[in-house]
Each structure stands twice: as C-alpha cells, then as structure tokens.
Amino acid sequence: MSLNRNEKQTVVTDVAAQVARSQTLALAEYRGMTVEHLNALRKIAREKGVYLHVLKNTLARRAVAGTPFEVASASMVGPLIYGFSEDAVAAAKVVSDFAKTNDKLVIKAGAYAGKALDAKGLQSLASIPSKEVLLSQLLGLMQSPIARIARVLAMVAEKRGGGADASAAPAAVEAAPAAA
C-alpha cells in the first residue's frame, strides 16, 4: 500500500527530525531476512538508542537533503534499513554486530561527520569502543600514577620500619584501586 502525499511529508519530517539529532547513519540491505530477525534487530537497536527504520529511498534522500548525511545519498539504492544514532558509534555497532550473526543483513554504507563511509569504513567505526568504555579507560590511566606513588610510599615506609605510618600506607594503596 502506497503512502499519500501527506503521509510521505510526515515521514520525511519525522526522519529529518531524527537526522538533526544524529551523528551517524548506517545503511544495510535486509533482503531475505525473516520478520523474526528484523524484529530482533529492531529490539537491539531500541535498547542501544538507535533509530532503525525501513524507508523508501526517495523519502530518505529528501530527509537527509541539506544535512551532513547527504553524502550517503548515492548509496541509497535497493531494500535498505536505515540506522541513525546520537552516539557516534551506536548505529554502526548495532548493524555490524547483527550482520556478524546474520548473513542476510549486508552492510552497504554509512555517513559520519559529513563523510561517506563504505562497508569497511562503517565496520571500522563499529570497532571503536563506546563512550563509556573510553571514559573508564581514561580514568584508569589517570589513576594508575597515583596508585604507583601510593605503593612506592608504602614500600619506603615499610623499609624505614615505621609502625603506624607503615600500616596507613598499605591501606591507602588498597583504597586507590578500589576507587577505580
């Protein structure tokens, strides 16, 4: 069943609003996938905060016109599922991870920061750790020098044979990694 002009305009407006909030676009061909697999992919996408939708390509081209995702317009051919995400890697990660377990989902292209990505580029983007993982790694790097200093101070206090000071220093060493 085709959409009338008002329904098409509503779809374009909704997708354009999502595009305005997004950093990444992932395009994948879903030809041959079962409804169960598509529903599973949509469920995963919802959990990760990814807007995943099957769109008519002409409507998708109209929605991305004048945005940084317009560079992917040439790739909008065939039966595609469109993934938009506010997180820089979420859409690419959802599509890439699902494509690993389902050979019917074929990654076609994408866009990030105004640059068109091919399938390999989108998979490379998906391999980047999430923001939370990167922040925890950064915090771990920032805490490691402090923990080393605490260990050195504990060893110095132990060599000097300090009584109360020696017992306080190992407690500080144990407290530093526990804060991580």
Q: Tell me the sheet residues that pair with 97.
A: none
Reduced to 3 states (helix: H, G, I; strand: E, B; else coil), residue 52 is strand
Q: How far apart are CA 83 and CA 39, in angstroms?
A: 14
pTM over 0.85: no
Judge whether 95 and 126 are in contact, CB under 8 Å.
yes
Q: What architecture does CATH give domain 5-128? A: 2-Layer Sandwich (3.30)
CA distances for 104 relative to 30, 37, 157, angstroms: 6, 10, 64
73's CB contacts (< 8 A; 6+ apart) are 61, 64, 65
Q: Where in the chain is the domain with CATH 3.30.70.1730?
A: 5-128
φ/ψ (deg, to 5) at 61: -60, -40
Q: How far apart are CA 49 and CA 116, in angstroms?
A: 22
Six token digits for residue 110: 């994408």
Comparing CA positions, the residue from 39, 77, 43 lying closest to residue 61 is 77
CA distances for 16 relative to 5, 35, 61, angstroms: 16, 26, 10
Q: What is the pLDDT along the chain (180 residues), one digit of tens a residue?
A: 578 889 999 999 999 999 999 999 999 999 999 999 999 999 999 999 999 999 999 999 999 999 999 999 999 999 999 999 998 899 999 999 999 999 999 999 999 988 999 999 999 888 888 778 888 888 888 888 888 888 888 898 888 876 554 455 555 545 555 544
